[in-house]
Structures are given as structure tokens and as C-alpha cells.
């Protein structure tokens, strides 16, 4: 009787259980798809932030859910990459570490050879022209002062030849003695007195063609002034060498500071540690900063 009653159910009554089953199945499928989508979104975010290796805990889930690992990174596991670059390239960058030492050393060497060359190499052409111009001016002044010294020395020797009767070429010590003594006999007497005081045999006496006699003290003083002017020119010439050294030092420091990334920053890696040195050039408050860090 029961079977007969069931068989006698209307079409509407028979369709209700079928519809309920279809709705339940659809909900199950949607729920699974939503979970799968959420898992995929999480995996994509994790992959972009932490890299493919950090997603190893989820690989089993992606394989069970038929989400190929290439769906996250765009490639297979052995060829993982992201918008930030390939994992292999990032690993190499981490191993190598940031370094601008080579560029700074190169710029410093260029400026050591020729002031301004390092600045020109790094693109600071205005500084390059200024430092190069200073270098040209320094060496121009050096040769000018050297020539002035030579001219004054030649003038003094000609003056002595005219007013003291000297002749020939002599060492600088001879010309100093000519300016200190009115004549060669006066010089010889000074040598003899010194030798007697020391109990030694006299040496360096002036005789023959090397003898001199000034016509008066005014001419001798004029000779001394010419010699002093020549010495002053040679002193200025020697100062130019010091200026050239200083110009090179300034150019090297400035080239090193301005090369390789941020001005004043030297970056390199030693024994797995990142090292940064920043020079803070300032007339009022100069200083430097040294930072050592390590990534884990």
C-alpha cells in the first residue's frame, strides 16, 4: 500500500526532493570553489611578498586543488619569478650585497691622476672644469715663478760681474759669500779665523780668478736684493707644489663622495654584513657615519 501511495504521487510532489538535492550540490560546489579561490589569492599574495620557497607549506594544497604552481608565479617551480624579478636573481643579489666601492675607487683614481677627471667621469662636469682649471692655473704659476727666480739669479750674477769683478759659473754657496763679504780677502780672513778657533786646516779659500771686490756697499746691497727676490720667487714656486697636492686631495675626496649612488655614501659587503659609510662634509659641522647591518 505504501509503495502504491508513493507511486501515486503527483509530478510536483516528485520534483521537490530532486530540486532540494540539486540546490545542496550547487552549494557544495560553490563553497569548494570559494575556498579554492581564497586559497589561490592567499598563495599569490604570499608568493609576491615572501617568494616561492615560503609557499612550500601550501604546495600540497595547490596540487590537491589542481592549482598548478605556475598559476601563482607564472612559471613552474624550477622557473619561479614574479614582478620583482626571478627568485634566482634575487638570491644572487642578496649574496653579492649592495656595493658601489668599485665606482668610487675608479673616480678617485681618475682625480688622483688629473684633478676633475673623476668628476667628469661621474657626470659632475661643472666641478670637473673648475678643478681642472685650478690645476692648470697652479702649474702655470709654478713655471712662471720658476722663471722669475731664474731671471733674478741671472741678474744678480751679472750685477756681481759688473760691480764686483766675478766671473765664471759657481755653486750657490759661492754667490751667497759674494753677497756677505765686501771682497774675497775679507772672506778668506773669516775662514782662517774659524779654522784657528776649531784647530783645523783652512779650506775653501778664494784665490785667482774667483776673487771679487765690490766697488761699494750700495752695489753689494743691490746684489743681495736681487738674490732675495730670486729666492722669494722660488719659494712661491714651491708653494705651488703644495697647492697642487691639496687640489688633488680635494678632487679625490669629492669624486669619491659623488660617485656610485647617493652622495657621500660608500656601500659594500664584508663577510655577509652590509657596511655603509657616509661622509658629511660641512664647514660648520663636518662628520661621518658608519653603519654595519646584516639581513636574516
In a domain, 275, yes or no: no
Is there a contact between 210 and 168 (Cβ–Cβ < 8 Å)? yes
β-bridge partners, 76? none
Same domain, 125 and 253: yes
| 50: nearest Cα among 18, 84, 17 | 84
72 & 108 share domain:
no
Across 45-78, b (16+ Cβ under 10 Å) vs e yields ebbeeebbeebeebeeebeeeebebeebbeeeee
Range of the domain at 71: 2-96
* Number of domains within the chain: 2
pLDDT value at residue 127: 87
pLDDT at 96 over 50: no
Asked which of 72, 96, 120 is the last residue of a domain, the reply is 96
Rounded distance, CA 218 to CA 224, Å? 10
Q: Are residues 38 and 147 part of one domain?
A: no
Assess if residue 16 is contained within a domain. Answer: yes
Q: Which three cell numbers stand for residue 134?
A: 685650478
Domain-located, residue 138: yes
Mean pLDDT for the stretch of residues 144-166: 96
Q: Is the pLDDT of residue 19 over 50?
A: yes
Verify that 86 and 153 share a domain, yes or no.
no
In a domain, 171, yes or no: no
185 in a domain, yes or no? no
User: Is 209 contained in some domain?
Assistant: no
In this structure, are 59 and 150 located in the same domain? no
Do residues 91 and 105 both lie within one domain? no
242 occurs within a structural domain: yes
Q: Is residue 228 part of a domain?
A: yes
| 87 and 227 inside one domain | no
pLDDT of residue 93: 45
What is the spatial distance between Cα 47 and Cα 55, in angstroms, rounded to a whole number? 6
Taking 80 as the threshold, does the pLDDT of residue 210 lie above it?
yes
pLDDT tens column, 107-133: 888 888 989 888 888 888 888 899 899
Separation between Cα atoms, residue 153 and residue 229, nearest integer Å: 8
Q: Indicate if 109 and 242 belong to the same structural domain.
A: yes
**17 and 83 fall within a common domain:** yes
Q: What pLDDT is stored for residue 296 in this prediction?
A: 60
58 plus 118 within the same structural domain = no
* 3-state class (DSSP) for residue 101: helix
Shared domain check, 8 and 125: no
What's the pLDDT band for 49 if we cut at 50, 70, 90? low
Q: Do residue 47 and residue 139 come from a single domain?
A: no
Report pLDDT for 103: 79
Using one digit for the tens of pLDDT, what is the confidence trace for 233-265?
999 999 999 999 999 998 988 888 877 655 445
Whether the per-residue pLDDT at 40 is higher than 90: the answer is no
Q: What is the mean pLDDT of the chain?
A: 73
Amino acid at each position: 500500500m505504501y509503495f502504491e501511495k508513493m507511486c501515486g504521487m503527483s509530478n510536483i510532489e516528485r520534483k521537490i526532493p530532486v530540486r532540494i538535492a540539486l540546490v545542496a550540490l550547487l552549494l557544495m560546489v560553490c563553497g569548494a570553489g570559494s575556498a579554492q579561490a581564497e586559497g589561490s589569492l592567499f598563495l599569490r599574495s604570499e608568493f609576491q611578498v615572501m617568494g616561492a620557497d615560503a609557499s612550500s607549506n601550501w604546495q600540497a594544497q595547490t596540487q590537491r586543488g589542481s592549482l598548478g604552481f605556475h598559476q601563482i608565479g607564472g612559471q613552474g617551480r624550477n622557473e619561479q619569478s614574479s614582478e620583482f624579478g626571478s627568485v634566482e636573481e634575487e638570491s644572487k643579489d642578496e649574496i653579492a650585497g649592495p656595493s658601489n666601492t668599485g665606482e668610487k675607487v675608479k673616480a678617485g683614481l681618475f682625480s688622483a691622476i688629473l684633478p676633475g677627471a673623476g668628476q667628469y667621469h661621474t657626470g659632475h662636469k661643472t666641478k670637473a672644469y673648475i678643478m681642472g682649471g685650478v690645476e692648470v692655473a697652479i702649474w702655470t704659476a709654478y713655471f712662471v715663478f720658476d722663471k722669475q727666480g731664474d731671471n733674478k739669479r741671472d741678474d744678480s750674477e751679472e750685477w756681481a760681474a759688473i760691480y764686483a769683478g766675478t766671473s765664471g759659473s759657481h755653486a750657490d754657496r759661492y754667490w751667497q759669500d759674494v753677497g756677505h763679504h765686501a771682497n774675497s780677502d775679507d772672506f778668506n780672513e773669516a775662514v782662517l779665523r774659524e779654522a784657528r778657533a776649531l784647530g783645523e786646516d783652512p779650506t775653501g779659500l778664494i784665490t785667482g780668478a774667483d776673487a771679487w771686490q765690490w766697488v761699494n756697499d750700495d752695489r753689494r746691497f743691490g746684489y743681495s736684493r736681487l738674490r732675495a727676490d730670486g729666492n722669494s720667487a722660488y719659494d712661491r714656486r714651491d708653494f705651488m707644489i703644495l697647492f697642487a697636492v691639496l687640489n688633488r686631495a680635494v678632487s679625490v675626496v669629492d669624486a669619491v663622495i659623488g660617485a656610485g649612488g647617493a652622495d657621500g655614501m660608500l656601500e659594500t659587503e664584508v663577510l655577509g654584513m652590509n657596511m655603509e659609510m657616509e661622509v658629511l662634509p660641512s664647514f660648520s659641522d663636518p662628520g661621518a657615519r658608519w653603519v654595519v647591518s646584516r639581513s636574516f
